[in-house]
Amino acid sequence: MRANTNTTYLPAVSPMTMPNTSHQLTMMDAILIMLLAYRIHGTDSAIRASAYSVRDKVQIACRPVINKVIRCSSPIKWAEAICRDDEL
């Protein structure tokens, strides 16, 4: 039996030739990131740090919500409320 010689391989792409992928995150992406921080670490500081990291990457209309999470007294309570509301 002969080996398949019609196999095509994609050329290697270096990071310098990668296309520009500067897409902004959606609000659902940001919520997922913050809830993962809650699930993995379970601390206010982890949720707040993830909110800081996504704040400049979300759409401008969503930034006030992220700022509220950063400024709230207990981001854990916020995360638990989101989990209860969405029944994740």
Query: What is the mean predicted confidence (pLDDT) over 63-73?
Result: 93
Between CA 37 and CA 35 the distance in angstroms is: 5
Whether 49 is in a domain gets the answer yes
Residue 50's nearest CA partner among 59, 62, 60, 38 is 38
Please state the pTM of the whole predicted model: 0.69
CB of 13 within 8 A of CB of 19?
Answer: no
- pLDDT (tens digit, 9 = 90+) per residue, 14-63? 555 444 455 688 999 999 999 999 999 999 999 999 999 999 999 888 89
Q: Is 16 a domain residue?
A: no
Task: Report the number of distinct structural domains present in the chain.
Answer: 1
Domain for residue 14, yes or no?
A: no
| Separation CA 70–CA 2 (nearest Å) | 62
Residue 5 lies in a domain: no
15 in a domain, yes or no? Answer: no
Domain region containing 59: 23-86
